[in-house]
Amino acid sequence: MLSSCSFVRGGSLSSMRHLTSRCENVARNAGHAHRFSFYSSQPTMHGTTILCVKKEGKVCLIGDGQVSLGHTVVKPNAKKVRRINDTILAGFAGSTADAFTLMERLESKLEEHPGQLTRACVELAKNWRMDKYLRHLEAILIVSDLEQSYTLTGNGDVVEPHDGIIGTGSGGHYALAAARALIDQPGLDAEAVGRKAMNIAADICVYTNHNFVVEILEKKE
């Protein structure tokens, strides 16, 4: 396949870019997932795994603490789960600075629309997608109260799960699958399901550790 690409020495930058584009097109058309590039990329930042579980009047939002840069653990005890107020929890995966900016915007939307989590999330998602500054922020938010749980993204998505379980971040798919398998087990409340699922995710995903931060919401009798 590489024989279809003509590599030359001493070519101009524009020529090199043209050849790079040709190679990528050849690989793409042949069904190859790998893309060729003459330019080295920066190491990828892998953030925290976040899981939200809702069961029998209790909400557990749990996140691990590992932040990795390439093959290096940068921080083992990051805190990316927080309590916004007495009734709302939030967690994030992605850039920490970007996520805190979005958290501040969410808090302001909640002040504008008190007691209306859905409307606040929709308004934030609209601003996130349309604002010239916010649209470049790279993070995913999970927001939950006792009634609703949502995933918010920069594409304008406000997604509510059908089963009250949300997983995102580096090991989010593993945690989500484990939580769904455990949710119907008798004797396990939302926190127990969340902790067991995150332990499974941490055992599988190299970008997830066992330093968990947990926030709980529970209906008062």
Q: How many CB atoms lie within 10 A of CB 75?
A: 14
**Adjacent-strand bridge partners of 60:** 53, 216
Amino acid at 111: E
48 in catalytic set: yes
Q: How many CB atoms lie within 10 A of CB 136?
A: 9
Going by C-beta distance under 8 Å and a sequence separation of 6 or more, which residues neighbour residue 16?
38
* For the chain, the helix, strand and coil percentages under 3-state DSSP, each to the nearest 5: 35, 25, 40
Q: Are 198 and 51 in contact (CB under 8 A)?
A: yes
Q: Which two tokens stand for residue 108?
A: 């302001």
164: left (phi over 0), alpha (psi -120 to 50) or beta: left
DSSP 8-state assignment for residue 148: -
Residue of 20, 44, 48, 49 with catalytic role: 48
Supply the residues annotated as catalytic. 48
